[in-house]
Chain A
Amino acid sequence: MLQINNLVVEIDGKRILNGLDLSVKAGEVAAIMGPNGSGKSTLSYVIAGKEDYEVLDGEIVLDGQNLLEMDPHERAAHGVFLAFQYPLEIPGVATMTFLKSVMNAQRKARGEEELTTPDFMRRVKKAAERLHIDQEMLKRALNVGFSGGEKKRMEILQMALLEPRFCILDETDSGLDIDALRVVAEGVNALRDPKRAFLVITHYQRLLNHIVPDSVHVMANGRIVRSGGKELALELEASGYAEYKEEAA
């Protein structure tokens, strides 16, 4: 489904991704772990299409299309979704207005009918209930004044509503209390599907107890330095990243 080959990325002349290769199959949940600053968020931004980065080499192919040739909104319509490590507050934009605009923009880009208001309301209500998101929260400006955990849940709500086929979760577990973590994990698990893949970036095994990955990749210095099954996460939890850092040095 997703194939990344020899991805080389710089920002302000500083090399962050260094010939990264990664392949994720349809239906797969791939976890990426790695030390702070190794380039995990950078990878997620480059997949989603953030402009600040300079891609010097490589390709990112999702279902036969090279994402690097597409604008961010086209990638979204093609099925890419990034749950941000730090979701942004958008003052003055009501959450419901935002949700409706983005859902309809994607539908329009795919040549589908716009949602009717009742259909839209029904979908939001259902997804919000599943994620224990208060109706009151939906009436506020997007993410403004939301707690860290509420923002993360709002990201998953958007993911559930947009039904993307390639989902990137960048440290969605950080800032969540134990109950919220379970709710969010259940929300993600409910979306697991043979046609959908996930890239789960995390520092902690705890999340992976709830969202059990099919593969685990270790990222260090802008490359995937080791890949394995779910047991690799446990091993990392015990041994840390020391050997990978040294390897790169």
Chain B
Amino acid sequence: MSAEVTPIRTAAETALIERFKAAKGELPGDGEVAKRREEAFARIEAAGLPHRRVEEWKYTDLRGLMREAAPLAPLPSAAEAAGAIAAAEAFAAVDAVRLTFVNGHFLPGASSTGGLPAGVEIVPLAEALASGHALLREMGRVAVGKDNAALALNAAFMADGAVIRVADGVPVAQPLHLRFVNTGAAPFATSPRVLVAVGEGASVTLLETHEGTAGVAYQTNTVVEIFAGAGTNVSHVRLNAEGDGALALSTLAVSLGAEALFNTLGVVTGSAAARHQLFLAFEGEGSKVSIGGATMIGGRQHADTTLVVDHAVPGCESRELFKTVVDGEATGVFQGKIIVRPDAQKTDGRMMSAALLLSETGTMNNKPELEIFADDVQCAHGATCGALDEDLLFYLMARGLPRGEAEALLVQAFLGEAIELVAHEGVREALLGRTAAWLAARAA
């Protein structure tokens, strides 16, 4: 007996199929790239958009969230792009090399790569796809993300972005700022992808900011893949300050060679619904990573952080610290999984997710997991969720702080613990400024 059930497609799923059919001929790249698009899309076509009965997407029902498949964003007019770029303020005060992407399209004219040292190659992804750039072979290298729907959607629709190569031993002093700006009066969809290969012993700081028009239900699905070789030192900071109507999917996939140092912090304040995925694979021994998150949401926002750290080799260390502040009727999600494979002896992994509920109507779903197949390891995880401590609030109020200010001080301290992980002072200050602004807006 065949129990095969033909899934009933949602309007968005049907539209996605139409959009892919119409767009695939126009999207950059043929041969291998085109084949890859087809394979990726075939998975989406077969399974549909993931929904709450798919374990990985239990708390973030993409099928429910993506009511429509917005049209692929064309390159906006020069005037519109210039206006949007002028309004982009994230990390604007930080001295950095800037690559600007408007609605997913790389804008060389609005980018400044002059300060880069020799040994750094930057190619727009559209060009790299068309010319079959060598680094394309590394796409999708991190195995734990293999069957992920957001990654597959991006692989099907990716139109532009960048390929960045830092040669062996090159220290890139200035941060490299990937500035994504989204603009439009009507819904649109973008699927940018950035590949970053960091050669042995090289070091670089990557900043990634996402901003966009308020009040528009645009959809972004960003992928950043970092292939960091042995002995590299890579810092990454991501800020989601998308417009309040946005559905923002994003993935950071990282593979690390031996004796490497990697740290990332993801800050979320924007978008109506966000899901940020981190897939990290240790490929060489003796590496250390710090993965942090600071999420502050209110209203009816939804913010999901999903993390898989794959300890496949011995002697690596990972530290995960996630802080989520939930106000209004917002929903926070943290899914964190640390896998320790049988060979990964002497793994040291510690994961903590702490949530602060500022309202009685907010929700936090915390799901930390350890999958350990080696015996000589040190691993721990913890999750907390609670309101602000009334006794601490009283102490501060008894010293003269009005309730709102007392709350703000405690929330700032709570998020500060994660934000302090950022080594770059200007970036850290800018992020602390963001939390202060978020708290001020909340009090107003």
Q: Are the CB atoms of A91 and B402 closer together than 8 Å?
A: no
B residues less than 8 Å from A75 (CB atoms): 398
A residues less than 8 Å from B399 (CB atoms): 76, 98, 102, 105, 158, 162
Cβ-neighbour of B397 out of A76, A90, A91, A162 (below 8 A): A76
Give chain B's interface residues, CB within 8 Å of chain A: 390-392, 394-403, 405-406, 409-410, 412-414, 416-417
Quote the shortest CB–CB distance from A48 to chain B (angstroms). 5
Q: Are the CB atoms of B390 and A105 closer together than 8 Å?
A: no
Quote the shortest CB–CB distance from A162 to chain B (angstroms). 7
Cα A50 to Cα B410 with chains together (Å)? 18
Within 8 A of B (CB), among A68-100: 71-73, 75-77, 80-82, 84, 87-88, 90-93, 97-98
The answer to whether the Cβ of A135 comes within 8 Å of any Cβ in the partner chain is no
Cβ-neighbour of B417 out of A71, A92, A97 (below 8 A): A92
The answer to whether the Cβ of A172 comes within 8 Å of any Cβ in the partner chain is no
Quote the shortest CB–CB distance from B389 to chain A (angstroms). 8
Q: Are the CB atoms of B395 and A101 closer together than 8 Å?
A: no
Cβ-neighbour of A72 out of B398, B412, B413, B416 (below 8 A): B398
Cα A52 to Cα B390 with chains together (Å)? 10
Say yes or no: A88-B405 contact (C-beta < 8 A), given A73-B400, A76-B397, A77-B400: no
The answer to whether the Cβ of A38 comes within 8 Å of any Cβ in the partner chain is no
A residues less than 8 Å from B417 (CB atoms): 91-92
Q: Are the CB atoms of A49 and B400 closer together than 8 Å?
A: no
Q: Are the CB atoms of B413 and A106 closer together than 8 Å?
A: no
Q: Are the CB atoms of A93 and B394 closer together than 8 Å?
A: no
Q: Are the CB atoms of A93 and B400 closer together than 8 Å?
A: no
Give chain A's interface residues, CB within 8 Å of chain B: 48-52, 71-73, 75-77, 80-82, 84, 87-88, 90-93, 97-98, 101-103, 105-106, 109, 141, 158, 162
Q: Are the CB atoms of B409 and A93 closer together than 8 Å?
A: yes
Cα A205 to Cα B397 with chains together (Å)? 31
Q: Which 9 A-B pairs have the closest CB atoms?
A: A92-B413, A76-B400, A72-B397, A106-B400, A102-B399, A105-B400, A88-B395, A48-B398, A93-B413
List, sorted by A's number, 30 A–B pairs whose CB atoms are closer than 8 Å.
A48-B394, A49-B398, A50-B394, A50-B398, A71-B397, A71-B403, A72-B394, A73-B397, A73-B401, A75-B398, A77-B400, A87-B395, A88-B395, A90-B392, A90-B395, A90-B396, A90-B413, A92-B416, A92-B417, A93-B409, A93-B410, A98-B396, A101-B401, A101-B405, A102-B396, A102-B401, A105-B400, A105-B405, A158-B399, A162-B399
Q: Are the CB atoms of B395 and A84 closer together than 8 Å?
A: yes
B residues less than 8 Å from A109 (CB atoms): 400
Minimum CB distance partner of A143 in chain B: B395
Q: Point out which of A49, A102, A103, A141 has the most chain B C-beta atoms below 10 A from its C-beta.
A: A102
A residues less than 8 Å from B416 (CB atoms): 92
Quote the shortest CB–CB distance from A101 to chain B (angstroms). 6
Q: Are the CB atoms of B400 and A102 closer together than 8 Å?
A: yes
Q: Are the CB atoms of A73 and B403 closer together than 8 Å?
A: yes
Q: Are the CB atoms of A51 and B398 closer together than 8 Å?
A: no
Minimum CB distance partner of A75 in chain B: B398
B residues less than 8 Å from A72 (CB atoms): 394, 397-398
Quote the shortest CB–CB distance from B394 to chain A (angstroms). 5
Given contacts A73-B402, A73-B406, 15 further A-B contacts (CB under 8 A): A49-B394, A49-B398, A52-B390, A73-B397, A75-B398, A90-B413, A92-B413, A93-B413, A98-B396, A98-B409, A101-B405, A102-B400, A103-B400, A105-B399, A109-B400
A residues less than 8 Å from B398 (CB atoms): 48-50, 72-73, 75-76, 80-82
Quote the shortest CB–CB distance from A206 to chain B (angstroms). 27
Q: Are the CB atoms of B397 and A101 closer together than 8 Å?
A: no
Minimum CB distance partner of A87 in chain B: B395
A residues less than 8 Å from B412 (CB atoms): 92
Cβ-neighbour of A105 out of B394, B401, B410, B414 (below 8 A): B401
Cα A88 to Cα B394 with chains together (Å)? 10
A residues less than 8 Å from B392 (CB atoms): 88, 90
Q: Are the CB atoms of A101 and B409 closer together than 8 Å?
A: yes
Cα A141 to Cα B400 with chains together (Å)? 19
Cα A105 to Cα B391 with chains together (Å)? 19
Cα A109 to Cα B405 with chains together (Å)? 13
B residues less than 8 Å from A102 (CB atoms): 396, 399-401
B residues less than 8 Å from A101 (CB atoms): 401, 405, 409
Cα A50 to Cα B394 with chains together (Å)? 6
Q: Are the CB atoms of A105 and B402 closer together than 8 Å?
A: yes
Minimum CB distance partner of A84 in chain B: B395
B residues less than 8 Å from A77 (CB atoms): 400
Quote the shortest CB–CB distance from B129 to chain A (angstroms). 45
Cα A77 to Cα B410 with chains together (Å)? 21
B residues less than 8 Å from A71 (CB atoms): 397, 402-403
Cα A88 to Cα B396 with chains together (Å)? 10
Cα A105 to Cα B402 with chains together (Å)? 8
B residues less than 8 Å from A105 (CB atoms): 399-402, 405
Q: Are the CB atoms of A88 and B403 closer together than 8 Å?
A: no
Q: Point out which of B391, B396, B414, B417 has the most chain A C-beta atoms below 10 A from its C-beta.
A: B396
